[in-house]
């Protein structure tokens, strides 16, 4: 097994880990950097892996520093499953389009300044609509449910107490 830390290393945001094991390449989280402007600029950078080589994504929870670059991943061609708890999927269906709206609003403001300086406008990292579109690859699972990716990889989401847990009574 090989784990490459592509975010949330020497910082607390931008969670993104590439795992290579049992002939598969998968991500654990695909989050945005937040906080320092120098880190936030990294959000529009290219991924350090070929998006189409990723077999699946495990999303630990919906916080934007864990999920915020999933629409960018999708825009670059990723179409394999994103496994997350039902609660995480539900929250992402609200949070990711909202994040897209924020991307659009912020780049509009920056582009007005860029145009005054004679510079070309920049696109948003992703739009609200693009964020909605990426939700098609989300696969909700229950806590403690064992997901068999293949004969060598099984995954189970446990309640770590960091996010809301929706229960049906």
Q: What CATH number does domain 2-93+134-150 carry, 1.10.10.10, 3.50.50.60, 3.60.15.10, 3.40.30.10?
A: 3.60.15.10
pLDDT digits (tens, 9 = 90+) for 33-75: 998 777 778 899 999 999 999 999 999 999 999 999 999 999 9
The band of 159, judged by pLDDT with boundaries at 50, 70 and 90, is confident
CA 53 to chain centroid: 16
| Average pLDDT score over the chain | 92
Global pTM value? 0.90
- Would you list the domain boundaries of the chain? 2-93+134-150
What residue has token string 């582009």?
111
Model confidence at 166: pLDDT above 70 = no
Q: CA 150 to CA 152: how far, in whole Å?
A: 5
The band of 152, judged by pLDDT with boundaries at 50, 70 and 90, is very high
**Nearest alpha-carbon partner for 4 in 26, 32, 33, 34:** 26
The predicted pLDDT at position 167 comes to: 46
Q: CA 112 to CA 146: how far, in whole Å?
A: 50
- Cite the DSSP H helix spans in the chain: 37-40, 64-67, 70-75, 86-116, 128-134
The band of 164, judged by pLDDT with boundaries at 50, 70 and 90, is low
């Amino acid at each position: 097994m090989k784990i490459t830390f592509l975010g949330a290393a020497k910082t607390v945001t931008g969670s993104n880990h590439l795992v290579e094991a049992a002939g598969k390449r998968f991500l654990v989280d695909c989050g945005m950097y937040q906080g320092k402007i120098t880190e936030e600029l990294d959000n529009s950078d290219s991924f350090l892996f070929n998006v189409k080589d990723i077999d699946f994504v495990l999303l630990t929870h919906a916080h934007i520093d864990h999920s915020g670059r999933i629409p960018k991943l999708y825009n670059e061609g990723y179409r394999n499953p994103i496994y997350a708890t039902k609660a995480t999927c539900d929250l992402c269906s609200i949070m990711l389009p909202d994040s897209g709206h924020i991307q659009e609003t912020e780049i509009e403001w920056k582009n007005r300044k860029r145009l005054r300086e004679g510079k070309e406008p920049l696109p948003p990292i992703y739009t609200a609509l693009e964020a909605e579109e990426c939700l098609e690859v989300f696969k909700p699972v229950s806590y403690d449910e064992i997901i068999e990716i293949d004969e060598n990889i099984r995954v189970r989401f446990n309640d770590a107490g960091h996010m809301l847990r929706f229960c049906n009574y």
